[in-house]
Amino acid sequence: MDMTLRSAGAGARLDRLPLGRFHRRVMMLVGIGMFFDGFDIYVAGIVLGATIKSGFATLGDAAAFISATFVGMMLGSIITGFLGDRFGRRFTYQFNLAVFGLASLAAAFAPSMTVLIALRFIIGFGLGAENVVGYATLTEFVPPAARGRWLGFLAVIVVTGLPIALLLGYALVPHFGWRVMFVLGGIGALFVWRLRKSLPESPRWLESAGRHAEADALLSRIEAEAEAELGHALPAPSPRTAEAPQTLGALFAPPLVSRLILGCIALIVINTLIYGFITWLPTFMVKQGLSVASSFGYSLLMALGAPIGSGIGALAADRVGRKPTIIGASAVAIGFGIAYPFVRDPAVLAAVGFGLTVPIYVLVAVLFGIYIPELFPTEIRLRGAGICNMFGRGATIVTPFMVVSLFNTYGVGGVLTLMVGLLAVLILTTAVLGIETRRRGLEIIAHDGEDRVPVVVQA
């Protein structure tokens, strides 16, 4: 083997690749599975409304259904972190997708609400796991100059599940019942499970696990495909110091502990924003005097802010950087959040709500999809991201109770005060603890987070 390749390591060899068919194939295989993840997260509200209306469930059952989802997602986030770092990204992704798909199909035939709640816990486990391993997997393949953009567009794919779930739910559930939504999610997940057999393992993970021969063989195939597409040889990779071996304990010592704290706070904030405001928008609007039909129409309009905001986040992360995008989007959301409780005109209310939704989903793309997976070394990347997601998902368990209490006591203004306060905390934490990862190789970020010379790759 060429000694330059031998000394470069997986990271340097991957980072100097031009974006091409191989990257698009990995994006497709990861993205289509994560679309069904996003789709199923937003199916819950549609299913609960239908089950309550038909008498299949009570309000108490609905609360248990939601709690089971979030508890499952919390456990799935942390457990998959350990599985993914121990057994690899590909195995863990396939395992989680199978769990999610089979449980979704079983839920379509649930004979009682008790069984449906139990199955929803299993579905939630798969959902929480998919979110952690999906973003981390793509992170380890895409070169630094385009990593933010590609991970951000993966988030766009995920949040597109929101408007599509709403449209399909209102089109199909009145005619076929709520069970059809689980059939769609389950069949889609198992179809992707079949496709994903061709998903390659991460060479970075193979190298970190000491499986150097497998990593080199896979990298050689990827490089040969890239050279055939280019029509000429690839440039030699720059020799790069490999990541030092890391254990779980490294997450709780400098410099990684500050990143772990930042990641936990960031995901607590963004999960609370989604499940404490976005999912409650129809209820808030009805309480503010809109009809149920108008509420749905405006909610659908705001749901379109999800892919728009995620797309903005994808572009901004690489162009202006992760930290400025997080701080800027948070500041914009604070502005709209302060204005929202004082709006009375329905059209203006929808416009302000849309304006608030967009920066929230900028944060969804940057935090979930781009920034958090970048912060941790390969050997403990999924465990670091899994711990952050565990705290974020854990916050969703108590969020509904906080929202109800604040709304009953102070109205929508009380809810928005909480959201604005959390966004202020996110700005402060990012400014103090955050590192800038834009256009920096993962190995350099893992070392000290301060790459003085940006890595330049063909994008």
Question: For residue range 386-436, what is the model confidence (pLDDT) as tens digits?
Answer: 999 999 989 888 887 788 788 888 888 898 999 999 999 999 999 999 999
Q: Report pLDDT for 454.
A: 40
Amino acid identity of 163? P
Q: Is the torsion defined by CA of 272, 278, 280, 284 positive or negative? A: positive
CA-based nearest residue to 378, from 445, 452, 309: 445
- Residue 91 tokens, joined: 């195995």
User: What dihedral angle (degrees, nearest 10) is formed by the CA atoms of 14, 16, 19, 24?
Assistant: 0
Domains of the chain: 10-201+250-447 (1.20.1250.20)
User: What are the tokens at 114?
Assistant: 């008790």
Which residues 6+ apart lie within 8 Å of 134 measured at CB? 30, 33, 34, 37, 93, 154
State the greatest distance between any 2 C-alpha atoms of the chain, in Å, as a whole number: 71
| Other beta carbons less than 10 A from residue 45's beta carbon | 17
Q: How far is CA 209 from CA 3, 20, 201, 312, 380, in A?
A: 21, 27, 12, 36, 11
> For residues 383 and 251, is the Cβ–Cβ distance under 8 A?
yes
Both tokens assigned to 294: 């108008």
CA nearest neighbour of 259 among 70, 379, 430, 438: 430
What pLDDT does 287 receive? 60
Instruction: Tell me the C-alpha distance between 347 and 340, whole Å.
Output: 12
Residues with pLDDT less than 50, the chain: 1-7, 292-293, 449-459
| Contact assessment for residue 375 and residue 49, using Cβ atoms and an 8 Å cutoff | no
425 and 265 Cβ atoms separated by less than 8 Å: yes
- 69-107 CB burial, b ≥16 within 10 A, e <16: bbbbbbbbbbbbbebbbeebbbebbbbbbebbbbbbbbb
Q: What is the pLDDT of residues 68-108, one digit of tens each?
A: 888 999 999 999 999 999 999 999 988 888 998 999 999 99
pLDDT at residue 451, as a whole number: 41
**For residue 213, what are its two tokens?**
């021969």
Closest CA to 131 of 65, 81, 66: 81
214 token code pair? 């497998």
Q: Count of H helices and E strands in the chain? A: 20, 0
